Structure 1
């Protein structure tokens, strides 16, 4: 499927999704919101994909919402205004809970919604010189649609409030310092750094990756006894869905000293991959 505002490539276990409105610095308009939902549908239906990388074309990741198309133009029609922006909230929520690993490859300007997508992805790597910002305060509102949630769940309180209240920008290097991204690297190394991270993830069991995300999200607001009960239930789920691969394959290989878990990943049998795809 081709999209008006996105470019999607699926290569084996990796999907790459690019915001593609470079003439608008990849600002998110209503068409892009619709396209994102369709693209996520397509990626989720791909049985082999383990990682989704999100990036932008041109010199921007995303400048955030298209202020004219999302706000000014539909404003006089309350129902249209509501529908236009509700679509965005749906795909933001889907991205946060997406069943495969998501990586933001932040190649350029990331403001508002672009800042939010960075915060919603599981992992993020940025070029050192990119600019992040929450400029909403500069046109009279606060970061909404989940943007405030994204900054408060990725950055310390004082830094989060500073950028929310001032509209100041921060660099990729500062974003790394404050926890918004995992790493900031020279722009020329960005793709290679993301490729390296993808390479580490695609060798893992896809069911384990999904359940590891679910356990993390599910236990963040639990006390320790409830968290242990929850993760034990998920371990039983993992065992059932993978035929105890962690015991029957991974630890059997460790028993033969064919790999060291602290340094490498066990070799997964193709038969297990085929069985999981057909499940």
Structure 2
């Protein structure tokens, strides 16, 4: 366990878990937490072997969002301090979205504002059925910013996104699953096991393939079909070069011998 002031990181082989650790503040995101998140992501990248990153919260909350006093009220009269304080947050949000490992939000409790955003930025998400998600910014006179509106518009249908942006109402974990905001909503006592099962499906895959699969998805959502095909074919050649054609020389050779079934399992990687 790597311990920072407001964030803990546990690295176990190909899996890393980041814990927001301000339970007395419902894991609200302070300036220190934003700095610590950069350190946490640095530590995971420096390790070099992590394929899956789980993000969760200590205590009964995932994250209540930005610490309104520390991030907004206190620095407001110093424009440069206000700008730099919040820039640290915006930068790690962007890092998380583009992180090379697969990111999984394990939402164990309240997820408002920035907590809602982190859930939406992660590649995958599992939530306890009882948790509450919300964008409460409209209730104190602003709209969700810093990427929070992006998280809503890219994970929810238009009318659902606008409903939660404009009303400040909350949705449960179960509703979040129905709306496609999380992959699964489960009873709280099953949250760890279900998340671990998803992680186990990720960590036996080729890390280069995982990274490029994310890149192809993100890029091709903005392309017409001919351009998307050109892009994914170029990435396929990149994959072949970076992995010594593992998909042909290892995976399909195993398939040829009928030693694995691609529809239901992953080939055995020949790695030291």
State the TM-score, normalized to the length of structure 2.
0.99
The count of corresponding residues between Structure 1 and Structure 2 is: 271
**1:10-68 per-position Cα deviation (integer Å, ceiling 9, x unaligned):** 00000000000000000000000011111111111112110000000000000000000
Q: CA RMSD in A?
A: 0.6
Aligned to 1:205: 206
Aligned to 2:266: 265
Which runs of structure 2 are paired with 1:2-151 in the superposition (5 Å)? 2-151=3-152
Aligned to 1:230: 231
**1:75-96 per-position Cα deviation (integer Å, ceiling 9, x unaligned):** 0100000001111100000000
Unaligned runs of 5+ in 2: none
Give the C-alpha shift of residue 270 in structure 1: 1.7
Give the C-alpha shift of residue 224 in structure 1: 0.5
Give the C-alpha shift of residue 205 in structure 1: 0.4
Question: Is the partner of 1:45 in helix, strand or coil?
Answer: helix
Give the C-alpha shift of residue 2 in structure 1: 2.7
The reply on whether 1:249 has 2:256 as its aligned counterpart is no
Which runs of structure 2 are paired with 1:163-174 in the superposition (5 Å)? 163-174=164-175
For 1:11 and 1:141, how far apart are their aligned partners in 2? 40
Runs of 4+ in 1 over 2 A off after TM superposition: none
**1:194-251 per-position Cα deviation (integer Å, ceiling 9, x unaligned):** 0000000001000000000000011110000110000000001000000000000000
Question: Is the partner of 1:85 in helix, strand or coil?
Answer: helix
For 1:144 and 1:81, how far apart are their aligned partners in 2? 15
Aligned to 2:155: 154
For 1:213 and 1:79, how far apart are their aligned partners in 2? 35
Aligned to 2:217: 216
Aligned to 1:274: none
For 1:156 and 1:250, how far apart are their aligned partners in 2? 38
For 2:249 and 2:263, how far apart are their aligned partners in 1? 18
Aligned to 2:180: 179
Contact (CA 8 Å) 2:153, 2:161: kept in 1 or not? yes
For 2:87 and 2:49, how far apart are their aligned partners in 1? 30
For 2:38 and 2:10, how far apart are their aligned partners in 1? 16
Contact (CA 8 Å) 2:8, 2:40: kept in 1 or not? no
For 1:199 and 1:189, how far apart are their aligned partners in 2? 15
Give the C-alpha shift of residue 181 in structure 1: 0.3
For 2:158 and 2:234, how far apart are their aligned partners in 1? 33
Contact (CA 8 Å) 2:137, 2:168: kept in 1 or not? yes
Unaligned runs of 5+ in 1: 272-279
Question: Is the partner of 1:10 in helix, strand or coil?
Answer: strand
For 1:183 and 1:80, how far apart are their aligned partners in 2? 39
Aligned to 2:196: 195
